């Protein structure tokens, strides 16, 4: 039975992303026998194609390349008929090089007249950088101090009357007793530190038991947080005997803050008279630090002081069509205004390396990218892993069946501007413009690294839904589809779904999302992750994490 799709409906039901593609994407569930128009030709679907999945526009022989976004995203493992769905049964990962679409020195910057002279209200630091938030940080040098960090977290929350889990605790009491529990009739407390966004507490599983390189990498990452423009200062807890010594962190902090402008207090438990003495001293540094941080008020800053880290997690078949290119359009606009973007997740750039190399501003930057990508791939191979293992079961169910297909869509978060620098893990951003950062594809490890390298705002795209946030950098969540935005409204900040429905263009929504970035950086918009106290921090133990 044939199910013809009217021309206007067909425009909204399927999409060919690039003129060179030999597949189309189903934007809604299509029954077998449906006839789809493509470039004046008709393609009849062999069987049903689920929304977000792809189907062949013409017959493919075994070994033929599957092309999407104008690049190779797979290889046919058996003959595929015109109109047949692209699946893991007939396609495997392939990154055969195709002619790059980008060329060095040929970037056309977007029109940013609407944002000319725009500013955000940020926190100006003594080193000249500007923060989008103002927090005091409490950091353990080793996992042995995690319990003390939790003691401090609960004690500070109780003292300030800012327990983010108060409502859930009341819910638990109601469920236990089987009846509503009256909320304590206490008047809301006046904020003692109105210019401070709060105290953030990190915990982790590292600092001892690993290699010396692990300890040094941890200290470099922690130094990136201690010296972050969103951080007013820090309290550091050390046990004393661990590999990640106080001197190691002090040296890493000095590299980023050679003038010693950032107040940092180091406390060692094994040199303390007692646990109570340690906690008392730590609380004293925290409250003194809050008073110090409260002296800084928001003031206008140019958009050139914004550095947006871009990340994706729980991606679906629409992520590379809506949310990711939308974020890329925002990055392009910010770069055109003198600001910066940081694109990470090297395993999710596999298959589009030639495009990024063509965008590097010079041979040195291109060589650094090739070297770091090559080293990462070789290390993965030594332990029996490969970038092709990156797509998760959820990715595959939603149409991202090869790493190259996922990568081609993921790379869209970086827009089209020139790559000005390539950073290894824990290295700070020093050049304005688009930077590439070597991280794994793991959502939280990569988001953790983006903040560690200096991103003072993060845009996180998702198609399946993820609550990820960060302790020091505000994270805005962008959904690839409106169904997710409605179902997880307490998690999602911005809906890119109108792009899929043909109700708005990427250019139209890019201006709205950039304005939301400005409002967030100015403290006028509170991200959902902050409201949920979702402060994820996972260092990358430099093994294989795809």
Q: Average pLDDT, stretch 179-196?
A: 77
The mean of the pLDDT values for the chain is 90
Please write the tens of the pLDDT for every residue from 278-313: 999 999 999 999 999 999 999 999 999 999 999 999
Per-residue DSSP letters for 421-439?
Answer: EEE-TTPPP-SSSEEEE--
Please tell me the distance from the alpha carbon of residue 541 to that of residue 444, in angstroms, as a whole number: 13
The Cβ of residue 536 has, within 10 Å, a number of other Cβ atoms equal to 17
Q: Is 135 within 8 Å of 232 (Cβ atoms)?
A: yes
User: Of the candidates 37, 83, 19, 79, which has an alpha carbon nearest to the alpha carbon of residue 57?
Assistant: 83
- The residues, any chain, with a CB within 8 Å of residue 397's CB and separated by 6 or more, are none
What phi-psi label fits residue 68: left (phi over 0), alpha (psi between -120 and 50 degrees) or beta? Answer: beta
Contacts of 221 (CB under 8 A, 6+ apart): 425, 426, 448, 449, 452, 539
For 142-152, what is the mean pLDDT? 97
Q: Mean of the pLDDT values across residues 529-541?
A: 96
Name residue, tokens 């021309």: 7
Asked if pLDDT for residue 421 goes beyond 90, the answer is yes
Q: Identify the helix (H) or strand (E) that includes residue 510.
A: helix 506-521
Q: Who's near 307: CB < 8 A, 6+ residues apart?
A: 339, 340, 341, 342, 429, 454, 455, 456, 457
What is the per-residue pLDDT for 188? 60
Q: Which of 390, 514, 532, 535 is closest to 459 using CA atoms?
A: 514
Confidence of residue 4 (pLDDT cuts 50, 70, 90): very low
pLDDT tens figures, 11-56: 468 888 888 889 998 988 999 999 998 888 899 999 999 988 999 9
Q: Which residue reads 């070789």 in tokens?
A: 378
Q: Which residue has the higher pLDDT, 500 or 307?
A: 307
Could you count the other beta carbons within 10 Å of the beta carbon of residue 126? Answer: 11
The residue written with tokens 């500070």 in the block is 156
Contact 313, 394 (CB under 8 A): no
Strands of 153-269 (E only): list them: 198-201, 231-238, 264-268
CA atoms within 13 A on the CB side of 257: 25
The model carries a pTM of 0.89
- Distance CA(178)–CA(38), nearest Å, equals 60
Q: What is the pLDDT of residues 314-345, one digit of tens each?
A: 888 889 889 999 999 999 999 999 999 999 99
- 314, two tokens: 């729980």
Q: Which residue has the tokens 């010693």?
A: 260
Banded pLDDT at 2 (limits 50, 70, 90) = very low
The pLDDT, as a whole number, for residue 1 is: 45
């Amino acid at each position: 039975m044939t199910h013809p799709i009217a021309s206007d409906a067909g425009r909204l039901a399927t999409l060919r992303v690039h003129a060179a593609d030999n597949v189309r994407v189903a934007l809604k569930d299509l029954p077998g026998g449906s006839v789809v128009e493509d470039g004046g030709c008709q393609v009849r679907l062999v069987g049903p194609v689920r929304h977000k999945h792809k189907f062949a526009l013409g017959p493919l022989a075994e070994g033929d390349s599957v092309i999407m976004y104008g690049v190779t995203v797979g290889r046919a493992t058996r003959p595929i008929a015109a109109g047949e769905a692209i699946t893991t049964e007939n396609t495997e990962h392939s990154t055969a090089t195709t002619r790059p679409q980008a060329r060095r020195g040929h970037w056309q910057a977007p029109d940013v007249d609407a944002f000319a002279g725009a500013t955000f209200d940020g926190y100006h630091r003594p080193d000249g950088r500007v923060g989008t938030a103002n927090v005091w940080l409490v950091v353990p040098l080793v996992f042995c101090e995690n319990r003390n960090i939790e003691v401090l977290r609960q004690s500070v929350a109780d003292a300030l009357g800012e327990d983010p889990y108060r409502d859930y605790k009341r819910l638990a009491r109601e469920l236990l007793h089987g009846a509503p529990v009256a909320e304590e009739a206490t008047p809301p407390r006046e904020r003692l530190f109105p210019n401070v966004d709060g105290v953030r507490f990190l915990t982790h599983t590292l600092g001892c038991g690993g290699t010396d390189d692990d300890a040094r990498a941890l200290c470099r990452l922690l130094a990136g947080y201690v010296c972050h423009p969103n951080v007013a200062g820090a309290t550091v807890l050390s046990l004393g005997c661990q590999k990640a010594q106080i001197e190691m962190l002090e040296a890493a902090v000095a590299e980023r803050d050679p003038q010693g402008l950032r107040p940092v207090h180091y406390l060692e438990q094994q040199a303390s008279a007692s646990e109570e003495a340690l906690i008392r001293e730590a609380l004293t540094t925290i409250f003194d630090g809050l008073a110090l941080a409260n002296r800084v008020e928001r003031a206008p800053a140019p958009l050139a002081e914004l550095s947006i880290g871009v990340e994706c997690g729980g991606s679906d078949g629409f992520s590379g069509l809506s949310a990711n290119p939308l974020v890329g359009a925002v990055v392009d606009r910010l770069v055109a205004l003198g600001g910066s973007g940081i694109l990470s997740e090297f395993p999710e750039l596999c298959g589009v390396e030639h495009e990024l190399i063509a965008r590097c501003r010079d041979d040195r930057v291109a060589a650094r990218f090739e070297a770091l990508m090559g080293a990462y791939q070789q290390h993965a191979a030594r332990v029996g892993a490969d970038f092709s293992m990156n797509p998760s079961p959820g990715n595959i169910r939603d149409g991202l069946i090869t790493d190259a297909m996922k990568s081609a869509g993921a790379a869209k978060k970086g827009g089209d501007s020139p790559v000005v620098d390539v950073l290894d893990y824990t290295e700070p951003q020093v050049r304005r413009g688009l930077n590439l950062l070597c991280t794994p594809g793991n959502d939280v490890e990569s988001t953790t690294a983006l903040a560690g390298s200096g991103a003072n705002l993060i845009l996180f795209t998702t198609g399946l839904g993820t609550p990820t946030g960060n302790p020091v950098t505000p994270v805005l969540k962008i959904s690839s589809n409106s169904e997710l935005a409605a179902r997880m409204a307490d998690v999602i900040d911005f809906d890119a779904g109108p792009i899929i429905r043909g109700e708005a263009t990427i250019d139209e929504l890019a201006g709205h999302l950039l304005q939301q970035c400005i409002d967030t950086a100015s403290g006028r918009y509170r991200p959902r992750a902050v409201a949920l106290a979702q402060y994820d921090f996972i260092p990358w133990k430099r093994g294989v994490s795809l």
